[in-house]
Amino acid sequence: MYNIALLSISDIKTISIIKTYWSMLLLSLGQTMLLTLLSLVFAFIIGLIFGIMNVTKIKPLNFIATVYVDGVRGVPLIVLAYFTYFGIPMFIRSIGFENFRFTALTAGTIALSMNAGAYMAEIFRAGIQSVDKGQMEAARSLGLGYGKSMQKVVLPQAIRTMIPSIINQFIISLKDTSILSVIGFPELTKAGNIIVAINFDVFSVWGIIALMYMIVIVTLSRLAKKIERRVNVGNER
């Protein structure tokens, strides 16, 4: 704010860009949020399943979970996105399903869910292991089955400790949606590409886009801190 004079020329440009493209920018931000939320929901489920598979005493399940987590974490998201969007449909077409293709939203959601799911599995594993072993034993000693004990006793306590990591993953995944601009998904970064191709004003456009990401993420992490604090108050009771 202190060098208003210096910024004033580009400010005018910036304002005119916002005036012209505000609906496109907001719409694409909406797409970014949609993709993030969808992926996070699936990632939560994937993480829950593989996280529990990892902490059971059943060796084959441990193995499957480890292969999944290590496998997906070993592939860059951009490669995963190309593979899902181009690779898999081509394979499906080659076995006889002509004209098969994923929409960018479907492919993007699959790629991002798988990616975030692998990290979420690790968050679940750590969360479950942070709950004292005696909790599971007490539940089992009452005659509750493994699943019920998990659901009613272990997971509610685990999820409390996991909340900061889950929020962190949410923020990472939100930023990772920008990678999915490469498969043409109309999210915020893709919108930036399009606008830049029209007016070549790289400074203003990418400045606006960066600011938009920042505002959303800072707001979310503030909100997250509040939730975390409230949950911790509940914990101390």
CA distance linking residue 128 with residue 54, whole number of Å: 10
CA distance linking residue 43 with residue 119, whole number of Å: 8
Q: Is the dihedral of CA 88, 93, 97, 99 positive or negative?
A: positive
Do 136 and 60 form a contact (C-beta atoms < 8 A)? no
> From the CB of 158, what's the least distance to another protein, in Å?
10
> From the CB of 127, what's the least distance to another protein, in Å?
14
Tokens of 230: 């409230």
Residue 1 CB neighbour total at 10 angstroms: 4
CB nearer to another protein: give 74 or 134. 134
CB nearer to another protein: give 114 or 139. 139
> From the CB of 29, what's the least distance to another protein, in Å?
37
CB nearer to another protein: give 11 or 137. 137
Region of 143 on the Ramachandran plot (φ > 0 left; ψ -120 to 50 alpha; else beta): left
CB nearer to another protein: give 60 or 134. 134
CB nearer to another protein: give 55 or 208. 55
CB nearer to another protein: give 18 or 138. 138
> From the CB of 218, what's the least distance to another protein, in Å?
31
Instruction: Identify which of 175, 165, 159, 156 has the alpha carbon closest to the alpha carbon of residue 214.
Output: 175
Instruction: Identify which of 189, 170, 197, 165 has the alpha carbon closest to the alpha carbon of residue 32.
Output: 189
> From the CB of 130, what's the least distance to another protein, in Å?
13
Tokens of 108: 């993007």
Which secondary structure element, helix H or strand E, spans residue 37, and what is its range? helix 4-55
Q: How far is CA 110 from CA 94, 129, 196, 222, in A?
A: 20, 28, 28, 28
> From the CB of 150, what's the least distance to another protein, in Å?
12
Q: DSSP strand E in 95-198: where?
A: none
Which residues of this chain interact with another protein, rule CB under 8 A? 132, 134-135, 137-145, 148, 152-153, 156-157, 160, 234-237
> From the CB of 153, what's the least distance to another protein, in Å?
6
CB nearer to another protein: give 96 or 234. 234
